[in-house]
Amino acid sequence: MNPGDDERPTLPPVRLPEEAELARAALAAPLLARAARLARWAPEGLAVAGDGELPPAQLAAARSHLGLSAGGVGDEEAADAWQFALDAGLVEVREGAAGVEAAPGPALAFLAGGGSPAGVLEIWGAGLEGALTDAAAPPLDGLLGEAADWEAAVGPDGELDPDALDPETLAWAQENAALELGLTLANLYVMAAAGDGAVVGGHGAAVPLPVLAAVVTRADEREEPGEEPGEEALAEVWRVVRTLDAQFRVLAATGLVAYEPPAPGALDDPAGPTAAPAPVEDEDGDEGTDEDARYGRVRLTPLGLYGVRRRLLADGFDAPLTGELASSDAATLLAALALHPEGAAHEEARLWLAGRDPLGAARALLAAARGADPEGPGRRMACQLVLAQLDERAEAAVREVLHDRELGGLARVWLAGRGAPDVPPPGEDMVSWLAIDTLAAELATAPPDVDPAALRELVAELAAHDAAFLDRAWRTDHPAAAEVLEAVGRLHPDKQVAKRARAAAHKSRTRP
């Protein structure tokens, strides 16, 4: 998608630490720290393989230099650190007199010279892309073409030779695995942004791997509401859980995620557990149970939020930062807040109001909230949210719109909430107009995957609170009256009320 396209997807905002703090976190990440040590250790003209890989003897020396344990795990960690150094530009490969050689790269000199935070993050980001590619590499078992000879495909070291694989099959598998990992990280980003991740220091609750896998595979959409996932959906969830476990073990060393691996043996059953554990909230509001922790949990670190946001921006997403609207005008603020999660909207409003004159800010907000366009209800709801943070110094501006058709209702709500005297009661028409405007805003800003039960409860509460609402609503000249009445007819749990609402919607559309 074109990054300049106005139709690009907009994600919830996050709030990141300062670049200097992010750079310190990047330098402290195990992979970058080890990669820098290996880059300083490697002698000029170190003989390497054609792709830069360390020969066995040099790999053993690199492992020893890093103080890693001898054996398979130590060798893997040393090889990962060396590859990160290559990807990040800390080491570069060139042709020498004796063949392919490794030499210190420009990124190493940059770090040695105390480079800028932005430059450090660029180096970390380059290494991260290589680590993500490695993490997303699909298992080669099962990718052999039908006509291939398995024995011929396995080399003397017992490893499968990628050259023996069908190129198209391998390319498809690699692309699919990379897309799946990207989707997983994007989902983690949205989960963090919708929760505590929007505030520095929170970074979101750890997400159980089965829950994340269910989101990635959209397992809940394969069944009817209230039904347990079927065997096929569960098998897919647990396949993804095992994949995520392997990937997050690799990515934890980059500093991208904080990962709690599954308990030993938890994922050994090839069929997986009989059901995916459902997340619950503990007393502190954090999701998770002992059962969830048994199968592993993960969250993006602040550095991880930065890294995933960087990739999302490159893919054409609009990924705002909290505080970016602080210098915007009121119209831009309200248009953006209508799409923000509530917690992020409150924080953005606080930052926008800081340093502004309350009376002038209130007048600007109320002026920007007007409009009969489809986005008007969302702006007015956002206006109420921002006005709620202002004290009595804004009262004069609010009283100025008491008799305004579009703003009079929200003005009365604001004044009554502060116990202000001499607030004129609203007429029936204004009450109906405000009710329709409020519901129109809720319907317009509800995410596509919002629980319909929440909207059903809202429309039921509205109809129960005002028995004559349907009879008055169709006569109201609110531009969204018919759409709101149709929504009441679609969502109200009482069939008789729903039928009356649909009839009222028809009257609204056909009235002169």
Instruction: Check pLDDT > 50 for residue 137.
Output: yes
> Which one-letter DSSP state was computed for residue 275?
S
Residue at 14 is within a domain: no
Q: How far is CA 413 from the centre of its chain?
A: 34
Compute φ and ψ for 508, nearest 5 degrees. -65, -40
Residue at 132 is within a domain: no
Counted domains in the chain: 4
Hey, what are 84's tokens? Answer: 């990160």
Hey, what are 105's tokens? Answer: 């790269």
Instruction: Check pLDDT > 50 for residue 5.
Output: no
Q: 511 near 474, Cβ under 8 Å?
A: yes
Q: Are residues 474 and 406 in the same domain?
A: no
Angle, helices 167-194/209-217, rounded to nearest 10 degrees: 120
80 vs 5: CA distance, rounded Å: 38
Instruction: Enter the pTM of the model.
Output: 0.78
In the listed set 393, 426, 459, which residue is the last one of a domain according to the structure? 426
Instruction: Check pLDDT > 70 for residue 142.
Output: no
Of 247, 250, 172, the residue nearest 213 (C-alpha):
247
Residue at 54 is within a domain: yes
Q: 259 near 248, Cβ under 8 Å?
A: yes
Hey, what are 135's tokens? Answer: 């993490």
Q: Are residues 185 and 270 in the same domain?
A: yes
CB atoms within 10 A of CB 53: 16
Compute φ and ψ for 192, nearest 5 degrees. -65, -40
If DSSP codes are grouped into helix, strand and coil, which group holds residue 147? coil
Q: 455 near 491, Cβ under 8 Å?
A: yes
**In terms of DSSP H, where are the helices of 321-451?**
330-337, 342-353, 358-369, 376-387, 395-399, 408-417, 428-445
In the listed set 99, 116, 133, which residue is the last one of a domain according to the structure? 116
> Which one-letter DSSP state was computed for residue 428?
H
Q: Are residues 348 and 466 in the same domain?
A: no
Least confident of 179-193, 229-243, 419-433: 229-243
Q: 291 near 256, Cβ under 8 Å?
A: no
**More confident site: 96 or 423:** 423
Q: Are residues 236 and 302 in the same domain?
A: yes
Q: Are residues 175 and 269 in the same domain?
A: yes
The dihedral built from the CA positions of residue 276, 281, 284 and 289, taken in this order, carries a sign that is: negative
Cβ-count burial 268-302 (b if 16+ within 10 Å, e if not): eeeebbeebbebeeeeeeebbeeebbbbbbbbbbb
Residue at 322 is within a domain: no
If DSSP codes are grouped into helix, strand and coil, which group holds residue 180? helix
Residue at 385 is within a domain: yes
In the listed set 282, 314, 346, which residue is the last one of a domain according to the structure? 314
Query: What pLDDT, on a 0 to 100 scale, did the predictor assign at position 285?
Result: 43
Q: Are residues 302 and 386 in the same domain?
A: no
Instruction: Check pLDDT > 50 for residue 37.
Output: yes
Q: 242 near 266, Cβ under 8 Å?
A: no
Give the distance between the most distant pair of CA atoms in the chain.
Answer: 92
Instruction: Grade residue 490 by pLDDT with cuts at 50, 70 and 90.
Output: confident
DSSP string, 77-98: HHHHHHHHHHHHTSEEEEEETT
Q: 348 near 340, Cβ under 8 Å?
A: yes
Q: Are residues 181 and 285 in the same domain?
A: yes
Range of the domain at 58: 19-116
Query: What pLDDT, on a 0 to 100 scale, did the predictor assign at position 139?
Result: 67
Residue at 494 is within a domain: yes
Q: Are residues 504 and 374 in the same domain?
A: no
Q: Are residues 376 and 304 in the same domain?
A: no
Instruction: Check pLDDT > 70 for residue 342.
Output: yes
> Which one-letter DSSP state was computed for residue 228?
P
Contacts of 372 (CB under 8 A, 6+ apart): 406, 479
Tokens 């080399």 -> residue: 155
Mean pLDDT of the chain: 83
Instruction: Check pLDDT > 80 for residue 277.
Output: no
Q: Are residues 305 and 343 in the same domain?
A: no
Q: Are residues 414 and 502 in the same domain?
A: no
If DSSP codes are grouped into helix, strand and coil, which group holds residue 204? coil
Stretch 115-140: mean pLDDT, rounded? 91
Of 301, 369, 261, the residue nearest 24 (C-alpha):
301
If DSSP codes are grouped into helix, strand and coil, which group holds residue 83? helix
Instruction: Check pLDDT > 50 for residue 481.
Output: yes
Sheet containing strand 297-300, strands side by side: 207-208, 297-300, 257-260
Q: Are residues 388 and 482 in the same domain?
A: no
Hey, what are 26's tokens? Answer: 């990047």
